[in-house]
Amino acid sequence: MKFPDKEPVVEFTHPMRSRYGETDRMGYVYYGRYLEYFEVARTEMIRSMGVSYRELEDSGVMLPVVHAEVDYKVPVLYDEEMFIKVMVFEVPSVRLRTYYEVTTAASDKVHAQGEVSLCFVDRESRRPCRAPESFIKSMQDGLKA
């Protein structure tokens, strides 16, 4: 997986701790959990911009995932403090492309990297639509902060 070769327009890091129920018999975080971690961090990034998924949905805009990819590098273990970094390299129009790096307090290595693309969709027609102006403005305002 290759990240864009430029500075992100938005970068947000969300701390989390791996829980026992998220690990396998080896004590490693189960591979499917990483997409859940990405979702939590993405939701908090959007919230930090002053918007919420609920507000988007209440305004008639859904944001389904249309592509997801994860590269696993080094396992995260039970009870490790993780830092899920979300990066956005371009202000979205119809598609929101988000990139992720998972690191831990115990290591300076990247444990996992990912990319998740979401599409703004009109709730009624279920057709792609442009990102709401309020979302774009919140993202741009977040860039100035």
Domain boundaries, the chain: 10-144
pLDDT band at 144 (very low <50, low <70, confident <90, very high): very low
Task: Read off the pLDDT of each residue in 117-144 and give the average, rounded to a whole number.
Answer: 89
pLDDT tens per residue across span 6-47: 999 999 999 999 999 999 999 999 999 999 999 999 999 999
pLDDT greater at residue 121 or residue 1: 121
- What is the pLDDT, as a whole number, of residue 52? 87
Which residue do the tokens 């938005």 mark?
A: 10
CA–CA separation, 3 and 113 (whole Å): 9
- What is the pLDDT, as a whole number, of residue 72? 97
* The pLDDT of residue 137 is above 60: yes
Q: 2 is written with which tokens?
A: 């290759």
End-to-end alpha-carbon separation of the chain, Å? 30
Which pTM value belongs to this model? 0.93
CA–CA separation, 55 and 139 (whole Å): 15
Four-way CATH pick for 10-144: 3.40.367.20, 3.60.21.70, 3.10.129.10, 3.40.50.300: 3.10.129.10
Contacts 24+ apart (CB under 8 A), 45-54: 45/10, 45/12, 45/14, 45/86, 45/88, 45/98, 48/12, 48/142, 49/10, 49/138, 49/139, 49/141, 49/142, 50/138, 50/141, 50/142, 51/134, 51/135, 51/138
The answer for residues whose C-beta is within 8 angstroms of residue 30's C-beta and 6 or more apart is: 22, 23, 24
pLDDT tens per residue across span 41-81: 999 999 999 888 898 999 999 999 999 999 999 999 999 99
Contact in structure between 31 and 68 (CB atoms under 8 Å): no
DSSP one-letter string for 91-133: --SSEEEEEEEEEETTEEEEEEEEEEEEE-EETTT--B-PPPH
